[in-house]
Amino acid sequence: MTSILIKGGRVIDPASGRDETGDVWIVGGKIAKSGRKAARTIDARGKWVVPGLIDIHVHFREPGEEAKETIADGCAAAVAGGFTSVATMANTGQVVDTAMAVRYVRDRAAEAGLARIFPLGAVTKGLKGEELAEMGLMAKAGAAGFSDDGRPIMNSEVMRRALEYAAMFRKPVVSHCEDAHLTKGAAMNEGPVATELGLRGWPAVAESAMAARDAMLAKWTGGHVHIAHVSAKETVEVIRAAKKSGARVTAEAAPHHLTLDDQRLRGYDPRFKMNPPLRTAEDVEAVVAALADGTIDCIASDHAPHGTEEKEQEFAACPNGVVGLETTVGVVLTDLVAAGKLTARRAIEAMTSAPARILGLALGSLVQGSAADVTIIDPARKWKVDPSKFRSRGRCTPWEGRSLTGAAVATIVGGLVVYES
Ligand SMILES: [Zn+2]
């Protein structure tokens, strides 16, 4: 394995508190303190050199819906966006609810040889919310945690058992918080805009009430619940209180919930349709403040590719979800960091050491001896979002045509340069 010297960049490693201009050495696939002779030197002056980015919420569609996205496509999109590790959700065409399915996902990722994949196994068989899946066997096969994401676990007894069981393997249960009785037929956030547009609303309380239940169950069982894609101000309040009470609760927010509100729905544009839906400007502000102060631990894209035809159906009928792996860095740097809402260090922490800690991964740092997963970001690179250039098969993004500043320019996984631009 060759040695690489990344020279003269702004090294930001929140896990160790390092933020200075300096060099990073990679020797034998690991971060080294220094080296003798580099086989390759990368000039990083003016760039940020950070731990390989980690996204703990992505939907690749394999096994079962390979036309939407294969694991190889998803991994290519990940490294193009600067992500060296991703956690995949279990709600694929064939649900990942067995040890065999977990191994299949890991094998396909190894074949692709780009990003590291940490599969989340389903909590319940077939995502039906009724009977626990074989969580122990999946954990043994390498599942990083468990989630029925895409669907809520409505049965509190099932959630209780899931938290207890997952805790035995020190894994989190990632909760898609949605009281399904409150969201039947909903197409967007419940509120004045939905009324005006004549669309059925998804009230914020359907999220916050379930987050409160899950936080209380986590406290009671000693389990770890991770709240996916926080969208509402009230959910932030629930998480803040839960953390204060000592419950093992962590949370993530997606770039779209951190930057866009429900006014965008006025054009009935499916590029703004996701679950949970875009909320009000006040919610966006609360979610951003919670990310800045650590109440929300990390950023996760909820990358969710769909076929173009499917996504172009009538608004009420079209599926939820947008792609995100290739736009997260640009959106976070442009709309949060450059806008003064988030420091560079906190933004990088929210995409490296924080997600690593949630899933218990020995990644997300540049300290000596760590796996050499490194992302080089040019904070000044200007580019325009053109979905036809995505590595992902998904083309639907709320940022289509948007000019952004900041992009990953090199992605290194285990000491190998897997992406450069
Ligand atoms: Zn979800």
Q: What angle do CA 284, 290, 295 make, to 5 degrees?
A: 145
DSSP 8-class letter at 260 = -
Entry pTM = 0.98
φ and ψ at 25, to 5 degrees? -105, 140
pLDDT band at 314 (very low <50, low <70, confident <90, very high): confident
pLDDT recorded at residue 364: 98
The type of residue at 182 is L
Per-residue pLDDT at 257:
98
- Report the distance separating Cα 223 and Cα 216, nearest Å: 10
Percent of the chain with pLDDT over 90: 95
Report, as residue numbers or ranges, the catalytic residues: 302
Q: Can you tell me the mean pLDDT for 352-375?
A: 98
Q: Is residue 311 scored above 80 in pLDDT?
A: no
Average pLDDT value for the chain: 97
pLDDT at 192 over 80: yes
CA of 74 to the centre of ligand 1 (A): 18
* Pairwise pLDDT comparison (320 vs 136), residue with the higher score: 136
Tokens at 46, concatenated: 């003016």
Cα 365 → chain centroid: 18
Over 90: is that where the pLDDT of 308 sits? no
Instruction: Give the Å distance between the CA of 57 and the centre of ligand 1.
Output: 9
The values of phi and psi at residue 369, to 5°, are: 95, -10
Return d(Cα 150, Cα 176) in angstroms, integer: 7
Instruction: Find the 274 Cα to ligand 1 centroid distance in Å.
Output: 9
Residues linked to residue 378 through DSSP beta bridges, in sequence order: 407
Q: Residue 1 has what pLDDT?
A: 62
β pairing state of 298-299 and 53-58:
unpaired
DSSP state of 221: H
Each residue of 4-53: pLDDT tens digit? Answer: 999 999 999 999 999 999 999 999 999 999 888 999 999 999 999 999 99
> What's the 228 CA to ligand 1 centre distance in angstroms?
6
Q: Which residues touch 372 (CB under 8 Å, ≥6 apart)?
A: 4, 26, 29, 30, 31, 412, 414, 415
pLDDT of the residue at 34: 87
